[in-house]
Amino acid sequence: MACPAAELEPLWGETVLLDGHQIALIKVSDDELYAVGNQDPHTGAFVMARGIVGSRGDAPTLASPLHKEVYDLRTGAGLSHPGLSIDSYPSRIVDGMVEIELP
């Protein structure tokens, strides 16, 4: 369990530390939540939770707050730089709590 889902605000990231993994939780809507690595792959800084939430086509996205590289929240794939990606973790809300599956 990571945290109560009710504590997450839509379109605003929060960071959780689970078993040594810094994870950015991004709540897009009440029924849409993503868990991605908090480390910016371009700079190495742990800042992705402060990124800019948006979309590209039907893909929910997160742009790095530093250099604005854009990543697909569903897969972590880099959209502006295909050679870069962020970790993506399966997540869900169960009984009001956020669950994240770690590798």
b vs e for 59-91, b when ≥16 Cβ sit within 10 Å of the residue's Cβ?
ebbbbbeeeebbbbbeebebbeeeebbbbbbeb
Separation CA 52–CA 55 (nearest Å): 10
DSSP state of 6: G
Output the pLDDT for position 31. Answer: 82
Residue 31, φ and ψ in degrees, nearest 5: -120, 15
At residue 2, does pLDDT exceed 90? no
Output the pLDDT for position 43. Answer: 94
- Structural domain boundaries enclosing 74: 3-100
Q: Find the CATH number of the domain harbouring 42.
A: 2.102.10.10
Residue carrying the six token digits 């810094």 = 22
Neighbours of 9 (CB within 10 A): 9
The mean of the pLDDT values for the chain is: 94
Domain count within the chain: 1
Token readout for 68 is 């604005």
DSSP state of 90: -
Q: Encode pLDDT of 13-58 as tens digits.
A: 999 999 999 999 999 988 899 999 999 999 999 999 999 999 999 9
Output the pLDDT for position 103. Answer: 86
The model's pTM is 0.92
Output the pLDDT for position 16. Answer: 95
Separation CA 70–CA 93 (nearest Å): 25
At residue 59, does pLDDT exceed 80? yes
Output the pLDDT for position 21. Answer: 92
